[in-house]
């Protein structure tokens, strides 16, 4: 160990250790009977400082442990940490996390059980995040226990937690059964199963919830016979618990249990409970079923899906509670995708589509918006003819929906419809509605249109209406999208459609719009090439150098610097340079500054041109 | 133990009184809520100064076997501070409107306290160990020379005097436009509801940044407003059921399973008005000031200005029991209206076995009703009878005619002394009665 000769290398560690302790103790007020007129005068800032220092020390716990050595870490540091569970959540959370990586610092797997006491006390605190982290660390170090240590040290800890007085310790125990079960002897296994059973019927709903949420995980490590004998009865009991918060967690467990069981047992062991959950009196349970529908569908397989889940799904889509309908609507596409191939189309057309049609005109906007985010995906499944006949009217209706989010969700998914029905059909039926949206009152919708414009441009023919969309993009200064458009359609298209609009705005009375011209030119010059830039854009920029607004003038200087590399050296010398020189003597400080910047910038361009001409010379 | 008083059962006797004796009472010291925790071991009070005081039941001592343990101060803390809403130019009082204990989950205790706008979750925990041994300091606190540290010391925990700490764990704010009148913890132990004049919100105890609105009775046009929510409570056993009472004297029972927004009640409790007793004040005095489920969950009790009613949850058209609290005030309503007393919000509570109920009145009187024998009694919380072990004498108010001996005439009642908040120990016959700035604790006399 270092430091025996009294060098100061121990000092930083000494500081860290001193700051580990929780010094900030609120002075209590015990003044006998009566209601004392006491106001707490706790200094928040000092409390905060102490907390930060402690947090810092805890995060460097490995450094402290390293300096102390494995022996003292085991005998002094860990016992101290075990007893300091008074602290703030943040500190405890950091401690719980650190201890999960402490195996080597206490002397390797042989001594890993030393970490159990502090983690055990952390697993009983009231703060869920801390408990969960402690359980996570316990699960981690359980793997580092030898089978013998697991039975001697770890398993007793799980039992202690499982039979603890407070529900906090019992909830923590629920997460630990599955990690020790596979590695212990069959007698201990029987005990673990018994403990789990007890917790599933605990008095407090919290413990039952914890058990229900770990039921699936525990089922996975159990032998199939026990799954059938033990887990199913627990599952059935939890799924009919009096508290809906417990029942809804059983739905989740249903997925993992169903995947474990052979197909022939599903009908008798799982389906009665699942059917009951899908029709539960509580909307929260039905919501959970709707939310987990795709997973359930995969877990129970095609046959049960066809016979049972399709009607259940129909009911969920028609549920009286909007939250449930919205959750189900979200799953429409996935559910249809995962239907058995051979009669998929028939099921969708006769059973699902009628419900979907109703949802399009639902009274609740969340339901409509959930549907709008997935409905376009149906077109790939149903094919061209069905899409045109049945889906397009729905899309159109949603594009015109009063709720902006619905319109937005439809626009964002246009590409998948295009793949199915082709450009012509799409442009004929949807384009008018889309162009209308470019003038939508909600800026988010306009923004979405602009953002999807390059995508739309790939699919829609170059019509006049598209140009109107472009104009809006210019107004909103969506320069980056303009660049993408020009790249897609080429310089000639840009020269005919975009450039005139951009240059037209140079004479706008609003100086912000005039600046937009400059920003667009900055973005477009490279894509448009030297010819258009020199002949059409440059004159406009130069003319704007006389603008009366200084902001415009210094942006001219910036633009000139930006488009410089695109221009030929002749234009730079004869046209750009004089203007920049004039701006460099401007009365406005900023204009002067940017003009000088541009001059040194373009000089660099000139110089590099010069060099490149030189190097072209044959030697 | 059913009896409330009189008869052969037992008598109430004085146990303790807390609070200053001075005649002039500071506004901040007025107790605004009283609540026992689930075991009855702790008793919390909140006051208009935003403070919460927690009393702990001391174990019975061997020397004085005739005495049940007393309640002594366990922890005192400032729960809420006065605030100012600059956007609405409104002062937010620090007054604690309600306190609700959470079921105990580990060695610490947790409670929710609320003022008009903000609900806070407090943790009350004990600490009896202190870390000792520094690296950088000597035992007597002098700093050591950093260059002379030759070995590292890990602090050791040593026992110390018990210290009780209260720390704020969560702050649930910004969810109520109107004044919060109730909070109630759900039996699922993970959610609770909070009600203001027009809305009820559902919170998760661990999530502070959002709550769900489950009842909203605010009309689109505030001029059409005809009633407000006066109290709300979760069912003690069924996590999906809660009730709320209104200023129109009706109670709605809602089922959260049916829909996310409970704007349509599952049950509607209303007693048809007796046309003969109709008066100008009918509407005001029928307003419900408190609603409480019985521990069994079968009944609920409502308090209006003049009476307490017990309703069977299975019968909506009338209460199964009605008790008059101070019927003699019916002739005084006009003056009670003028001094605003008619708007006082009296609370009510059940005893541990649901066999008796208690509620407050004026002149520091409080009333108890035995549901089995239908006997009732009026008792007084006063300094005069606050001698140790003194038995409380029943009080009587003369109702018209000639005043008998030991009776008090209605005109001499002190309307400034009112008992609005009372609490009954969940298991034992111990009651806590808040009389302005004093907290009286009474218990049954063991013969």
Per-residue pLDDT at B61:
59
Q: Measuring CA to CA, how many Å separate B55 from each of A26, A66, A369, B305?
A: 18, 46, 53, 30
pLDDT tens digits, one per residue of A587-612: 888 888 888 888 887 655 554 444 44
CB-based contact A80 B110, cutoff 8 Å: no
Residue B342 lies inside a defined structural domain of this protein: yes
Mean pLDDT of A201-215: 94
User: Alpha-carbon distance B132 to B155, whole Å?
Assistant: 5
Strand partners, A204: none
Residue B3 lies inside a defined structural domain of this protein: no
User: Alpha-carbon distance A118 to A80, whole Å?
Assistant: 9
- Which residue in B has a C-alpha nearest to residue A69's C-alpha? B152
CB-based contact A18 B47, cutoff 8 Å: no
Give A607-613's long-range contacts (Cβ < 8 A, gap of 24+): A609/A569
Residue B2 lies inside a defined structural domain of this protein: no
Q: Which residues of A touch B242 (CB under 8 A)?
A: none
CB-based contact B149 A11, cutoff 8 Å: yes
Determine contact, residues B247/B288, Cβ cutoff 8 Å: yes
State the total domains in chain B. 1
- How close does chain A come to B194, measured CA to CA in Å? 19
Q: Measuring CA to CA, how many Å separate B191 from each of A364, B184, B370?
A: 26, 9, 33
- Answer whether residue B4 shows pLDDT above 90: no
In this structure, chain B runs to a length of: 447
Q: Which residues of B touch A323 (CB under 8 A)?
A: 260
Q: Which residues of A touch B151 (CB under 8 A)?
A: 3-4, 10
CB-based contact A244 B137, cutoff 8 Å: no
**C-beta neighbour count of A94 within 10 angstroms:** 21
User: Alpha-carbon distance A22 to B125, whole Å?
Assistant: 15
Q: Phi/psi class of residue B133: alpha, beta or left (left: φ > 0; alpha: ψ in -120 to 50)?
A: left
User: Alpha-carbon distance A475 to A6, whole Å?
Assistant: 72
Interface confidence, given as ipTM, is 0.83
pLDDT tens digits, one per residue of A153-168: 999 999 999 999 999 9
Residue B51 lies inside a defined structural domain of this protein: yes
Neighbour order of strands in the sheet with B119-132: B98-101, B109-114, B119-132, B156-172
**C-beta neighbour count of A428 within 10 angstroms:** 11
Residue B1 lies inside a defined structural domain of this protein: no
CATH number, residue B184: 2.130.10.10
CB-based contact A35 B439, cutoff 8 Å: yes
- Which residue in B has a C-alpha nearest to residue A68's C-alpha? B152
Residue B7 lies inside a defined structural domain of this protein: no
Q: How confident is the model at residue A474 (pLDDT cuts 50, 70, 90)?
A: low
* Alpha-carbon torsion, ordered B143, B147, B150, B155, to 10 deg: 30
Residue B6 lies inside a defined structural domain of this protein: no
CA A140 to chain centre: 26
pLDDT tens digits, one per residue of A107-159: 999 999 999 999 999 999 989 999 999 999 999 999 999 999 999 999 999 99
pLDDT tens digits, one per residue of A327-346: 999 999 999 999 988 889 99
Rounded to two decimals, what is the model's pTM?
0.79
User: Alpha-carbon distance B346 to B289, whole Å?
Assistant: 6
User: Alpha-carbon distance A494 to A473, whole Å?
Assistant: 14
Strand partners, B47: B31
Q: How confident is the model at residue A36 (pLDDT cuts 50, 70, 90)?
A: very low
Q: Which of residues 52-71 of A touch B (CB under 8 A)?
A: 67-68
pLDDT tens digits, one per residue of B399-418: 776 777 788 888 889 999 99
Determine contact, residues A460/A454, Cβ cutoff 8 Å: no
CB-based contact B137 A36, cutoff 8 Å: no
Residue B4 lies inside a defined structural domain of this protein: no
User: Alpha-carbon distance B138 to B156, whole Å?
Assistant: 15
Q: Which of B33, B105, B152 to mutate to test the interface with A (most CBs of A within 10 A)?
A: B152
Mean pLDDT of A458-483: 58
Determine contact, residues A569/A578, Cβ cutoff 8 Å: no
Enter the tokens of residue A502: 């951009």
Q: How confident is the model at residue A14 (pLDDT cuts 50, 70, 90)?
A: confident
Mean pLDDT of A365-374: 93
Q: Where are the beta strands (DSSP E) in B48-198?
A: 51-57, 71-78, 83-85, 90-92, 98-101, 109-114, 119-132, 156-172, 182-185, 191-195
Of B110, B164, B189, the CB nearest to A206: B189
Q: Which of residues 106-135 of A touch B (CB under 8 A)?
A: 124-128
User: Alpha-carbon distance A207 to A161, whole Å?
Assistant: 12
Q: Which residues of A touch B28 (CB under 8 A)?
A: 37
Q: Where are the beta strands (DSSP E) in B175-227?
A: 182-185, 191-195, 199-204, 212-216
Of A40, A83, A168, the CB nearest to B106: A168
Strand partners, A77: none
Domain limits at B56? 12-147+154-444
């Amino acid at each position: 160990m270092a430091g025996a000769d009294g060098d100061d290398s121990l000092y930083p560690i000494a500081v860290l250790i001193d700051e580990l302790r929780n010094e900030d103790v609120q002075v209590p007020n015990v003044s006998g009977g009566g209601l004392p007129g006491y106001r707490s005068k706790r200094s928040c800032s000092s409390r905060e400082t102490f907390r930060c220092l402690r947090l810092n020390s805890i995060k460097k716990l490995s450094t402290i442990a390293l300096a102390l050595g494995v022996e003292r870490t085991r005998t002094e540091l860990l016992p101290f940490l075990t007893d300091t569970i008074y602290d703030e959540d943040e500190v405890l959370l950091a401690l719980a996390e650190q201890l999960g990586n402490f195996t080597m610092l206490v002397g390797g797997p042989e001594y890993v059980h030393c970490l159990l006491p502090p983690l055990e006390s952390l697993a009983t605190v009231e703060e869920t995040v801390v408990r969960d982290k402690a359980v996570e660390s316990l699960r981690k170090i359980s793997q580092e226990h030898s089978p013998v240590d697991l039975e001697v040290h770890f398993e007793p800890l799980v039992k202690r937690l499982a039979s603890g007085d407070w529900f906090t310790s019992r909830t923590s125990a629920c997460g630990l059964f599955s990690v020790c079960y596979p590695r212990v002897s069959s007698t201990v296994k029987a005990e673990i199963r018994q403990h789990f059973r007890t917790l599933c019927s605990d008095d407090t709903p919290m413990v039952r919830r914890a058990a229900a949420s770990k039921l699936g995980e525990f089922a996975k490590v159990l032998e199939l016979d026990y799954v059938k004998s033990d887990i199913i009865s627990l599952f059935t009991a939890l799924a009919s618990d009096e508290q809906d918060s417990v029942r809804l967690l059983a739905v989740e467990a249903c997925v993992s249990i169903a995947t474990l069981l052979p197909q022939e047992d599903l009908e008798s062991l799982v389906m009665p409970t699942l059917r009951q959950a899908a029709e539960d009196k509580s909307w929260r349970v039905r919501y959970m079923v709707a939310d987990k529908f795709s997973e359930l569908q995969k877990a129970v397989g095609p046959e049960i899906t066809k016979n049972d889940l399709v009607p259940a799904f129909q009911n969920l889509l028609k549920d009286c509670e909007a939250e449930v309908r919205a959750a189900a609507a979200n799953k429409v596409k996935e559910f249809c995708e995962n239907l058995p191939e051979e009669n998929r189309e028939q099921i969708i057309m006769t059973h699902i589509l009628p419900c979907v049609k109703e949802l399009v005109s639902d009274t609740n906007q969340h339901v409509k918006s959930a549907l709008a985010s997935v409905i376009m995906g149906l077109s790939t499944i149903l094919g061209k003819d069905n899409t045109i006949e049945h889906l397009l009217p729905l899309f159109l209706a949603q594009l015109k929906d009063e709720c902006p989010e619905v319109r937005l969700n439809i626009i964002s998914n246009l590409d998948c419809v295009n793949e199915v029905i082709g450009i012509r059909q799409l442009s004929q039926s949807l384009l008018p509605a889309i162009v209308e949206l470019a003038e939508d009152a909600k800026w988010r919708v306009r923004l979405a249109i602009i953002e999807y414009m390059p995508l739309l441009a790939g699919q829609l023919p170059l019509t006049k209406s598209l140009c109107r969309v472009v104009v809006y993009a210019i107004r909103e200064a969506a320069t980056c999208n303009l660049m993408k458009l020009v790249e897609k359609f080429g310089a000639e298209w840009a020269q005919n459609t975009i450039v005139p609009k951009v240059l037209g705005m140079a004479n706008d009375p609003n100086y912000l719009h005039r600046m937009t011209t400059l920003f667009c030119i900055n973005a477009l010059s490279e894509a448009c090439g030297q010819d258009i830039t020199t002949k059409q854009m440059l004159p406009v920029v130069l003319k704007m150098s006389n603008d009366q607004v200084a902001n415009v003038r210094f942006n001219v200087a910036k633009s000139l610097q930006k488009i410089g590399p695109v221009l030929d050296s002749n234009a730079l010398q004869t046209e750009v340079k004089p203007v920049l020189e004039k701006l460099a003597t401007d009365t406005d400080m900023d204009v002067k500054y940017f003009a000088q910047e541009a001059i040194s910038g373009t000089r660099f361009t000139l110089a590099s041109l010069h060099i490149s001409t030189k190097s072209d010379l044959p030697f | 133990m059913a009896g409330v008083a009189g008869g052969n059962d037992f008598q109430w006797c004085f146990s303790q009184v807390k609070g200053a004796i001075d005649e002039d009472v500071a506004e901040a010291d007025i107790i605004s809520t009283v609540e026992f925790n689930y075991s009855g071991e702790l008793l919390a009070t909140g006051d208009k100064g935003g403070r919460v005081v927690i009393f702990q039941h001391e174990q019975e001592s061997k020397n004085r076997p005739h005495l049940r343990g007393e309640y002594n101060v366990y922890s005192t803390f400032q729960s809420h501070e006065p605030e100012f809403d600059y956007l609405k130019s409104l002062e937010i009082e620090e007054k604690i409107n309600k306190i609700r204990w959470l079921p105990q989950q580990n060695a610490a205790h947790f409670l929710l306290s609320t003022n008009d706008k903000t609900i806070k979750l407090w943790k009350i925990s004990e600490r009896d160990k202190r870390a000792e041994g520094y690296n950088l300091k000597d035992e007597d606190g002098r700093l050591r020379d950093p260059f002379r540290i030759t070995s590292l010391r890990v602090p050791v925990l040593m026992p110390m005097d018990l210290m009780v700490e209260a720390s704020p764990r969560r702050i649930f704010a910004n969810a109520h436009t109107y004044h919060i009148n109730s909070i109630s913890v759900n039996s699922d132990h993970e959610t609770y509801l909070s009600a203001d004049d027009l809305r009820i919100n559902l919170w998760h105890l661990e999530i502070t940044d959002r709550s769900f609105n489950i009842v909203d009775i605010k009309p689109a046009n505030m001029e059409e407003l005809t009633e407000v929510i006066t109290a709300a409570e979760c069912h003690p056993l069924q996590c999906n059921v809660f009730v709320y009472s209104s200023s129109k004297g009706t109670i709605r029972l809602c089922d959260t399973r049916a829909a996310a927004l409970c704007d349509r009640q599952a049950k509607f409790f209303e007693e048809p008005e007796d046309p003969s007793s109709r008066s100008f004040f009918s509407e005001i005095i029928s307003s419900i000031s408190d609603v409480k489920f019985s521990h069994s969950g079968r009944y609920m009790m409502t308090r209006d200005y003049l009476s307490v009613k017990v309703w069977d949850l299975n019968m909506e058209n009338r209460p199964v029991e009605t008790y008059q609290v101070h019927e003699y005030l019916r002739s005084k309503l006009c003056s009670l209206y003028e001094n605003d007393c008619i708007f006082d919000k009296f609370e009510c509570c059940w005893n541990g076995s649901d066999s008796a109920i208690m509620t407050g009145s004026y002149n520091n009187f409080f009333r108890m009703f035995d549901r089995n024998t239908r006997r009732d009694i009026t008792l007084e919380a006063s300094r005069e009878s606050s001698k140790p072990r003194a038995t409380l004498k029943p009080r009587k108010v003369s109702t018209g005619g000639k005043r008998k001996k030991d009776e008090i005439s209605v005109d001499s009642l002190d309307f400034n002394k009112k008992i609005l908040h009372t609490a009954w120990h969940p298991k034992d016959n111990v009651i806590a009665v808040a009389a302005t700035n004093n907290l009286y604790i009474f218990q049954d006399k063991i013969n």
